[in-house]
Amino acid sequence: MNLLRTDDQTISDLEIFSKKSGGGIFDIYNHVHTRGGETLLGELFRQPLSDRDAINRRSSIIGSFARLNIPFPYHTSIFDTAEKYLSHTEEEMKAKGNRMTLGEKEIQNGVNAILEIFRVTLAFIEQPKIIAIPDYDAEREAINNLITAPAFEPALKESEKARLSYSAVTAFDSLFRIAEREKIQQLLKAIYHLDVYMSVAMTALERKFIFPKALEKGQAILNVKGVYHPSLKKPVANDLQMNGGKNVLFLTGANMAGKSTFLRSLSTALYIAHMGFPVAATSMEFSVLDGIYTTVNLPDNLGIGASHFYVEVLRVKKMAQELSSGGSFFILFDELFRGTNVKDAHEATVAVIKGFTRKSNSLFIVSSHIVEAGEQLKDSSNVDFQFLPTRMKGHVPEYTYQLERGITDDRHGMIIIRNEGILDILEKGKKESTSSTNAQTPVRHV
């Protein structure tokens, strides 16, 4: 299975697993019932797909479970019992001198847990509504083949209410923990996948997320409507269309206008869509990519004595090397070349973006305060220009967080500095300026 290429910088930028103020994107989707399911969910977040059929298949399965809206059918405590029981293999106990041998009660509980997993799983996959999920058919059939293997025939005949004899427990213990342990582990892994599907389906239902459609790789198509960041309580949604003819977006806007939030919203949706998971939007279709790379919060590398600008240069170089492979990528830079002087940043931004325009099978977004660079790029037909506006209400800036066409030279840093009374504090001292401080702060709507 082809996997999407990405890196730790991107995972950190998108706050996939955690952020300083709380949980990350992972936590939004994490409704799993088992430890194995949680581990698997983490693996899927680190390994998005780069295969259209695989993405659409997973999306279809999760969407089907969302429509069915059925609960996870197991008592989740049985998985803890089963995992602990199966962890005591014959080889491990011999290696440790039998110091971790299971007691009679632990063996009995482990055997009963496996038997219950068999019964519940078989009843679940034999339901007509589960059989009717076409894209789940291969996994359902694999589960059925595991449970109905000839070796497990005696287990399927055991009554749920019958108390097992000592000899039966001993026989099942030898079967489950030694002879057919690998099949039991395969069954548990399949159930962990089911746990993830149902967990993510619950996220889609509760948050009204939609399931994107994956298109053929290499077309550089991204059509998304109503995209927003799933962590925001009162998000403002935006639409965006990109394609091979307009594969570069040059984004401008004042500080606090919402550029970074929009960039994270879009990038997160595209990343999650490559997992086959539902996203925070009203509709979305996208060409499958070979890789996604973002650069939002790029740290200095003091360990090698590198300045921020040099770290930026190395990041751009890495992107150029990835693009030279001929693959399709989504590459995002928030404030490209912020670590150098305006003149160098201007020239470098124009040069790099013009290089991006020649890679028509990939998508690029660059945000910048250097509006003059945008003016120079207007002769490049592949570049689209959008901005996030600022509306002045007297001396107070207000933000719509809605994309508009064009380039803006909005700059109101000094207005905010004056509104906060910083200059008065420096001139007159804190006590005399307290009344003016925070009197006119920017109005935010997120």
Residue 280 · residue 253 · CB < 8 Å: no
pLDDT for 255 equals: 82
Contact residues for 251 (Cβ-Cβ < 8 A; gap 6+): 259, 262, 263, 365, 366, 367, 368, 386, 387, 388
User: What is the C-alpha end-to-end distance of the chain, expressed in Å?
Assistant: 39
pLDDT band at 412; cut points 50, 70, 90 = low
pLDDT for 441 equals: 46
pLDDT for 278 equals: 98
> Among residues 232, 235, 218, which one has the least CA distance to residue 359?
218
Q: What's the mean pLDDT in 3-30?
A: 91
pLDDT for 37 equals: 97
pLDDT for 96 equals: 54
pLDDT band at 298; cut points 50, 70, 90 = confident
CA dihedral 273, 277, 279, 284 (to 10 degrees): 50
Q: What's the mean pLDDT in 432-445?
A: 46
Q: What tokens appear for 388 in the block? A: 């996030």
Is the pLDDT reported for residue 21 higher than 50?
A: yes
> Among residues 21, 14, 36, 22, which one has the least CA distance to residue 275?
14
Share of the chain above pLDDT 70, in %: 89
pLDDT band at 435; cut points 50, 70, 90 = very low
Is the pLDDT reported for residue 103 higher than 70?
A: yes
Q: What tens digit of pLDDT does each residue of 63-87 get?
A: 999 999 999 999 999 999 999 999 9
Q: What tokens appear for 70 in the block? A: 């059925």
Contact residues for 437 (Cβ-Cβ < 8 A; gap 6+): 420, 421, 424, 425
Share of the chain above pLDDT 90, in %: 75
Mean pLDDT, the chain, rounded, equals: 90
Q: What tens digit of pLDDT does each residue of 333-384 get?
A: 998 888 888 899 899 999 999 999 999 999 999 999 888 999 999 999 999 9
Contact residues for 170 (Cβ-Cβ < 8 A; gap 6+): none
Domains of the chain: 31-207 (1.10.1420), 213-411 (3.40.50.300)
Is the pLDDT reported for residue 122 higher than 70?
A: yes
Q: What tens digit of pLDDT does each residue of 310-320 get?
A: 899 999 999 99
Distance set, CA 1 to CA 4, 49, 270 (Å): 10, 8, 19
Q: How many Cα atoms are found within 13 Å in the side-chain-facing hemisphere of 259? A: 26
DSSP lists the bridge partners of residue 398 as 391, 443
pLDDT for 203 equals: 97
Q: What's the mean pLDDT in 226-249?
A: 96
Q: What's the mean pLDDT in 263-269?
A: 98
Q: What tokens appear for 399 in the block? A: 């933000």
pLDDT band at 251; cut points 50, 70, 90 = very high
